[in-house]
């Protein structure tokens, strides 16, 4: 029996093991990006153009399957607050030298009639949905500005791309989005919807990390202050949400975990945001 073959295989294995590690490290390095406004390094494996294309497609599908609110007063409130937050976001990006990103946003605001869904989300490209169930917690326009500022904060920080990249890496070996859509379309679309907190009931949701939450909280209070809303309202809103959380927290808390430190962190962010609010 030729005993050299197993030895050769072992040598090849020893050779390819470090090669594989190096290749994987280079693969991750190539996908590294910088989070706008905070300069944190993050993983972006999905080209932004593909994210936007799928985002707009999925948004249209969600709206087709949903019942849009016919309450003109509430719909107009959502759109009025949304427009103010959107203008603040564009001004923020411009001030930070990121004005070139503004063309990627095609803002749209819709109110979905579902009193059981305590949820809201903003997809890449500025596609936003608010569910009527969250309005009992926002209470008024300023409370709604807390939610929309926070969600737009996730969007302009590209947290969705980061979470989608992590999901592709964990579940599909870092497969390209176009390949994943071709080979495993249903699972890939489910990952996409979960990564962006899309819809009220999609089977599972991917929670934001504490780092992403902190970034969205900070950006969110900056945006609402720049839009002329009192950022101190963020404390009241998150306290109401925290008190509402029981055995089955609302969708909004499923994707936005609220640790005890959040309130303390917000107090610090608000001190910075007040300077913008007082200038309005």
Return the C-alpha torsion angle 114, 118, 124, 125, nearest 10: 50
Q: How far apart are CA 278 and CA 177, in angstroms?
A: 44
Q: Which two tokens mark 98?
A: 């990121």
Main-chain phi, psi angles of 130, to 5 degrees: -120, 135
Which residue in 117, 118, 112, 106 sits closest to 147, CA to CA? 118
Burial of 29 (0-12, 13-18, 19+ CB in 10 A): exposed
Contact (CB, 8 A) for 228 and 280: yes
Q: Which residues are identified as catalytic?
A: 151
Phi, psi of 247 (to 5 degrees): -70, -35
The long-range contacts involving 21-30, CB below 8 angstroms and separated by at least 24 positions, are 27/174
Read out DSSP for 18-54?
A: HHHHHHHHHHHHHTEEE-TTT--EEE--S-HHHHHHH
CA atoms within 13 A on the CB side of 145: 27
Give the C-alpha separation, 109 to 21, whole Å. 45
CB 148 within 8 A of CB 24: no
């Amino acid at each position: 029996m030729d005993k050299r073959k197993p030895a050769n295989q072992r040598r090849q294995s020893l050779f390819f093991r470090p090669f594989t590690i190096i290749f994987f490290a280079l693969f991750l390095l190539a996908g590294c990006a910088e989070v706008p406004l905070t300069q944190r390094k993050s993983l972006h494996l999905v080209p932004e153009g593909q994210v936007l294309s799928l985002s707009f497609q999925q948004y249209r599908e969600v709206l087709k399957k949903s019942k849009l609110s016919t309450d003109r007063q509430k719909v107009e409130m959502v759109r009025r607050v949304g427009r103010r937050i959107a203008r603040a976001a564009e001004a923020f990006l411009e001030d930070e030298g990121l004005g070139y990103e503004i063309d990627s946003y095609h803002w749209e605001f819709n109110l979905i009639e579902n009193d059981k869904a305590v949820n809201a989300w903003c997809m890449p490209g500025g596609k936003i949905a608010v569910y009527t169930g969250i309005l009992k917690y926002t209470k008024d326009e300023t409370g709604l500005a807390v939610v929309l500022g926070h969600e737009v904060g996730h969007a302009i920080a590209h947290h969705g791309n980061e979470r989608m990249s992590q999901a592709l890496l964990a579940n599909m070996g870092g497969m390209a989005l176009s390949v994943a859509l071709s080979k495993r379309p249903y699972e890939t679309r489910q990952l996409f919807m979960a990564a962006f907190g899309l819809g009220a009931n999609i089977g599972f949701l991917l929670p934001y990390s504490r780092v992403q939450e902190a970034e969205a909280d900070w950006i969110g209070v900056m945006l609402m202050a720049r839009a002329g809303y009192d950022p101190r309202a963020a404390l009241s809103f998150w306290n109401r949400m925290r008190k509402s959380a029981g055995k089955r927290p609302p969708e909004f808390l499923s994707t936005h975990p609220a640790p005890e430190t959040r309130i303390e962190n917000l107090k610090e962010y608000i001190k910075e945001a007040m300077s913008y609010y007082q200038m309005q």
